[in-house]
Structure 1
Amino acid sequence: MSETMPQEFWQGVEQFNSGQFYACHDTLEALWIEAIEPEKTFYQGILQIAVALYHLRNENLRGAAILLGEGSNRLRRYPDSYGGINVDELLSQSAELLTVLQQTSVNKISASELLENQNLPIPKLVLSNDC
């Protein structure tokens, strides 16, 4: 990992945490296109989780579940803390939301019912203690 993450990455973190998921995707995608490993997959994992949350907001529960899983799978190869982000916490929060989405599907709850009647565990990008 490079010693410091680029300023655009931190802009993407702010966008993610403020609920600007589409903007976060655009910001991180621009970094991802130019990146080399191991940052490339790290950016992709976070941006896929951002797109999952964008799908969730637009009541596309299936798309949200698929991208939560794909983004999480990409991030599992990283240590608990990477790039100044607590990866373990992001994975835990994403897994919690994925469980809710899967239960929603099994229980045949509509997306609008889910979004209206539940405090969803929306993931946040938490800074790691060692940055």
Structure 2
Amino acid sequence: MSQFELEHLAIMEEGILLYNAQKYWECHEDLEHHWLEEPGPLRNVYWAVIQVAAAMIHYREGNLVGARGLIFKAKQKFERTEQFNIESELLQSELSWEELKSLVRAVPAESQLSDFKKLYDFRFKDPSLWKRK
């Protein structure tokens, strides 16, 4: 099974920049075609970020039901990245993956909008600081 590597990190750069700028819809759009093109379990990395970004749109708009539903789905994608052993040191170090997973998992099933605040404040590591080798 393939792990997350440099080529996957490069694919995500624009989407991560958009996410960090809180341009969640644009992040979703950018990563969606990579998610659709990825045939294997690695697609769950893209998919998780897409769903978290979409949840942040709902949070920002005050749509608790939409935010809850997408966070539940994102939790499933994180489980798949673990199940298929996709998570690599690169994913951890360059995308702050453990922090993101922890914040997503901290949102309770019967959450309130206030439960999303820490996740909304999350930013990925700036791509200009990523290791490229």
TM superposition score category, shorter chain reference: 0.7 to 0.9
Residue 25 of structure 1: which of 28, 37, 50 is its match? Answer: 28
The gaps in structure 1 that reach 5 residues or longer are: 105-110
Q: What count of residue pairs does the alignment treat as equivalent? A: 117
Runs of 4+ in 1 over 6 A off after TM superposition: none
Alpha carbons of 1:38 and 1:93: their partners in 2 closer, same or farther (altered >3 Å)? same
Normalised by the length of structure 1, the TM-score is 0.72
**Matched residue of 2:123: which SS?**
coil
Q: Deviations over 1:65-110 (max 9, x none)?
A: 11112112212324374273222110112233x23x8342xxxxxx
The separation in 1 between residues aligned to 2:99 and 2:26, in whole angstroms, is 22
Alpha carbons of 1:130 and 1:20: their partners in 2 closer, same or farther (altered >3 Å)? closer
The separation in 1 between residues aligned to 2:5 and 2:54, in whole angstroms, is 25
> By percentage of residues, which structure has more helix?
2
Residue 39 of structure 2: which of 36, 40, 57 is its match? Answer: 36
Kindly indicate whether the alpha-carbon contact (under 8 Å) linking 1:90 and 1:126 is maintained by their aligned counterparts in 2: no
Alpha carbons of 1:130 and 1:60: their partners in 2 closer, same or farther (altered >3 Å)? same
Share of identical aligned residues, percent? 20
Equivalent position amino acid for 1:56 in 2: Y
Larger radius of gyration: 1
Alpha carbons of 1:12 and 1:88: their partners in 2 closer, same or farther (altered >3 Å)? same
Higher relative contact order (Cα pairs below 8 Å, separated by 6+ residues)? 2
Normalised by the length of structure 2, the TM-score is 0.71
The separation in 1 between residues aligned to 2:111 and 2:68, in whole angstroms, is 11
Give the CA RMSD over aligned residues.
2.9
The residue correspondences of 1:112-131 to structure 2 (distance < 5 A) are: 120-121=117-118, 122=120, 123-126=122-125, 131=131
* Structure 2 residue aligned with 1:55: 58
1:79 aligns with 2:78: no
Kindly indicate whether the alpha-carbon contact (under 8 Å) linking 2:32 and 2:47 is maintained by their aligned counterparts in 1: yes
* Structure 2 residue aligned with 1:94: 104
